[in-house]
Amino acid sequence: MKKTLTLITAGADAPDPLSVSAYESVGGFKGLKKALTMTPAEIVREVLAAKLLGRGGAAYPAGKKWEQLLKIPRGPKYVVANADEGEPGTFKDRLIMDKVPFGLLEGMAVAGHVFGARNGYVYVRGEYRLIGKKLRAAIETLKAAGRLGENILGSGFSFDVKVVSGAGAYVCGENSALLNSTEGKAGRPRIKPPHLAEVGLFLKPTLVNNVETFACVPSIVAEGGERFLSLGHPEGGGTKLVCLSGRVKNPGVYEIPLGRLTLRELIFDPELGGGMREGDVFNFAHLGGQSGPIAGIAGLDAVYAHSELKKASLAVGSGAIVVMDRSVGILDYLRRVSEFFAGESCGKCVPCREGNGTILRYLKTLEDGEAGPEELRALSLLAETMARASFCGLGQAAPTALESARKIFPEEFEGRVRRPEDAEVREAPHPTKFGDSAATA
Ligand SMILES: Cc1cc2nc3c(=O)[nH]c(=O)nc-3n(C[C@H](O)[C@H](O)[C@H](O)COP(=O)(O)O)c2cc1C
Ligand code: SF4
């Protein structure tokens, strides 16, 4: 049985990603053409039936989000694609925009039709400058071909898409920060509620979905939600783009059916990751980006699907799978994760602003063998406080890797803790102690 599918990556190997005829030859625009003959409620029903879980990381059901926005009577409404792709180890939205940009734009146009939107935006990660250029060219091509812009396919429906360059901050991927940044404001998260479906871009009702989520929409509409569901897991349909990187033989993006493969197969199957590079031994994998959990050897038998991974305290997240070998120490790795979050915290709220820096300090102390049991307890307390009290998902998810790693490698933490007898040894030659020769000289 073939391990990969080509649902959203159909045509990704075509020599010219901006060829409308090449895209149509693999089923392109079937979804949009059909959508233009359907009512918004009918389309939303298909998205609900597909059980499409948002591909940006939070796995919120897309059908539910679309249903909520459809119920809001006010307009104008906006359609926004989140192409910030800031999660380290994640490079699948880039593949869609680079190789099948029409898939994203077709999905957005379907959404535009559902919500009666006139304008859509793609917020592209600042570092993806060439991708942004390519997307602009793709938009112009589709306008010239009557598949975007005024009076699409003679239906009377008009929908335009603009590309916005991201601000180069991880937090700008958070949907409300992304909208602030699109409006030209500082990319900081907004307080919710009100939800973006009510008060979004320019304070208007707005749909924000990930690039991959939009790219799933054409086939859901063309082939029906039930078929999409049947390709994946009963609780989350379709395929998922996974990004394999780190110490595997075959790093890259793979489109796999949800619920059919274990993590072990993803990493070790010769058709997929191909196993560890010569001489490397598997140590752990980091799933779903820096804000996701760590999987140890025991986690490898978990089935790759949102609900299955959750049972094993793991997550799909953004689809990143970063594989590390035994030469990478977990504490060293976690310190780097922590450095990332301390650097990316926007500073708006105390638990995240102070918490990330403090976790980083404690981890360094632990690595140096200077931490006592009280520091370990403080780490747990900090992680819990951040998860509960941070203003946005960045601070809430920042300690996820640390907390999961502590369960998998308890000895790496407990074994580094300074014992009371170590403290005495270190204290003995303290130069400022009364009676010490160095202090009295
Ligand atoms: C700090 C932070 C960064 C995020 N970065 C991204 C991102 O780069 N791309 C993305 O699609 N979603 C990102 N998200 C999730 C978005 O807030 C939002 O859930 C997503 O765009 C919704 O689309 P979906 O339902 O299709 O996944 C991020 C969330 C947080 C808290
Ligand atoms: S959790 Fe972090 S990134 Fe989010 S608002 Fe608070 S300080 Fe900013």
Same domain? For 305 and 362 the reply is: no
Does residue 131 sit in the same domain as residue 243?
A: no
Mean pLDDT is lowest, of 219-223, 363-367, 423-427, for: 423-427
User: Which residues constitute the domain of residue 297?
Assistant: 239-325
pLDDT of residue 418: 86
Q: Is the C-beta atom of 392 inside 6 A of ligand 2?
A: yes
Q: Are residues 338 and 400 in the same domain?
A: yes
Please indicate, yes or no, if residue 350 is contained in any of the structural domains: yes
394: Cβ below 6 Å to ligand 1? yes
What is the pLDDT, as a whole number, of residue 440? 33
User: Both 122 and 159 in a single domain?
Assistant: yes
Residue 308: which pLDDT band, with cuts at 50, 70 and 90?
A: very high
Unique residue bearing structure tokens 């940009």: 101
What is the pTM (predicted TM-score) of this model?
A: 0.95
Question: What atom in ligand 2 is closest to the CA of residue 396?
Answer: 1
Report the number of distinct structural domains present in the chain.
3
| Domain assignment of residue 433, yes or no | no
Residue 401 in contact with residue 360, Cβ under 8 Å? no
Average pLDDT (334-358) is 97
**In contact, 307 and 235? CB cutoff 8 Å:** yes
- Residue with token string 């029906």: 224
What CATH number should be reported for the domain holding residue 223? Answer: 3.40.50.11540
pLDDT for the residue 2: 82
Distance in angstroms (rounded) separating the CA atoms of residues 25 and 425: 75
What does the pLDDT average to over 182-192?
Answer: 97
Asked if 344 and 306 sit in the same domain, the reply is no
pLDDT of residue 374: 92
Q: Report the residue among 191, 392, 396, 400 best suited for mutation to probe ligand 2: largest number of ligand atoms under 8 A from its CB.
A: 392
Q: Is 391 in the pocket of ligand 2 (CB under 6 A)?
A: yes
Half-sphere exposure of residue 115: CA atoms within 13 angstroms, side-chain side: 32
Give the pLDDT confidence of 20-30 residue by residue, as tens digits: 999 999 999 99
What span, in angstroms and rounded, lies between the C-alpha atoms of 361 and 285? 24
Whether 313 and 279 map to the same domain: the answer is yes
Q: How far is the CA of 183 from the centre of ligand 1 (A)?
A: 17
CB 75 within 8 A of CB 205: yes
Last residue within a domain, chosen from 284, 308, 325: 325
**59: confidence class by pLDDT, cuts 50, 70, 90:** very high
Q: Please give the number of the atom of ligand 2 that sits closest to the Cα of 356.
A: 2
What is the average pLDDT across 35-49? 98
Grouping H, G, I as helix, E, B as strand and the rest as coil, residue 122 is: strand
Same domain, 105 and 59: yes
Rounded Cα distance, 176 and 393, in Å: 11
| 30 pocket-lining for ligand 2 (C-beta < 6 Å) | no
Choose the weakest-confidence range: 1-10, 232-241, 338-347: 1-10
Q: What is the CATH number of the domain that holds 259?
A: 3.10.20.600
Query: Based on the domain organization, do 270 and 143 belong to the same domain?
Result: no
Domain-located, residue 409:
yes
State phi, psi for 128 to the nearest 5 degrees: -90, 55
| Confidence label for 1 from pLDDT (cuts 50, 70 and 90) | low
Q: Are 269 and 357 in a shared domain?
A: no
> Does residue 15 sit within a domain?
no
Residue 429, pLDDT above cutoff 90: no
Output the pLDDT for position 430: 42
- Model confidence band, residue 423 (pLDDT cutoffs 50, 70, 90): low
Whether the Cβ atoms of residue 148 and residue 159 lie closer than 8 Å to each other:
yes
- The answer to the question of residue 441 being in a domain is no
Kindly state whether residues 356 and 279 are assigned to the same domain.
Answer: no
Q: What is the mean pLDDT of residues 53-76?
A: 98
pLDDT of residue 436: 38
Q: Does any domain span residue 429? A: no
CATH number at residue 336: 1.20.1440.230
Please write the tens of the pLDDT for every residue from 376-395: 999 999 999 999 999 999 99
pLDDT of residue 421: 66
Ligand at minimal distance from the CA of 195 is 1
Q: DSSP string of 22-65?
A: HHHHTTTTHHHHHHTTS-HHHHHHHHHHHT-B-TTTT--BHHHH
Q: Do both 320 and 213 map to the same domain?
A: no
Q: Answer yes or no: is 81 within a domain.
A: yes
To test the pocket of ligand 2, the residue of 344, 348, 382, 385 to mutate (highest count of ligand atoms within 8 Å of its CB) is: 348
pLDDT grade for 167, boundaries at 50, 70 and 90: confident
Q: Which of 308, 325, 342 is the last residue of a domain?
A: 325
Is the CB of residue 394 below 6 angstroms from any atom belonging to ligand 2? yes
Tell me: do 37 and 183 sit in the same domain: yes
User: pLDDT (tens digit, 9 = 90+) per residue, 223-277?
Assistant: 999 999 999 999 999 999 999 999 999 999 999 999 999 999 999 999 999 999 9
Whether residue 437 lies inside any domain: the answer is no
Candidate of 53, 55, 79, 82 to mutate for ligand 1, largest count of ligand atoms within 8 Å of Cβ: 82
**Domain end call among 325, 350, 378:** 325
